[in-house]
């Protein structure tokens, strides 16, 4: 498992915040002004979780809502892909 570096964490968090991207998990807009503990606030998610061998580098990080990140937990992207439901068919 990779060691976390707090200086790198803060630098990467600031770099992601500057561009204000949508949530990398649900693709919804993030309100970057929300308080830290709000479920829809900005947090940094490791695309490949550290617990699954991911690295603590900017290339492996994305913006996420706090609630989305908690739901994703230490799952790999392919294990957490959103379900696709067919709501209509044409025969």
pLDDT tens for the chain, residues 1 to 91: 456 778 889 999 999 999 999 999 999 999 999 999 999 999 999 999 999 999 999 999 999 999 999 999 999 888 876 666 666 666 6
Q: From residue 13, give the alpha-carbon distance in Å to each of 77, 79, 82.
A: 20, 25, 25
Phi first, then psi: what are they for 3, rounded to 5°?
Answer: -80, 140
Q: How far is C-alpha 6 from the geometric centre of its chain's CA atoms?
A: 18
User: What does the pLDDT read at residue 78?
Assistant: 83
- Per-residue model confidence (pLDDT) at position 1: 47
Question: Strand, coil or helix: what is 71?
Answer: helix
Distance of CA 48 to the CA centre of its chain: 10
């Amino acid at each position: 498992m990779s060691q976390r570096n707090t200086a790198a964490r803060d630098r990467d968090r600031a770099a992601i915040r500057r561009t204000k991207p949508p949530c990398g998990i649900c693709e919804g807009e993030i309100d970057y002004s929300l308080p830290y503990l709000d479920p829809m606030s900005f947090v940094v998610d490791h695309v490949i979780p550290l617990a699954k061998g991911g690295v603590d580098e900017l290339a492996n990080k994305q913006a996420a809502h706090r609630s989305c990140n908690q739901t994703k937990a230490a799952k790999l992207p392919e294990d957490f892909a959103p379900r696709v439901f067919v709501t209509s068919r044409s025969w």
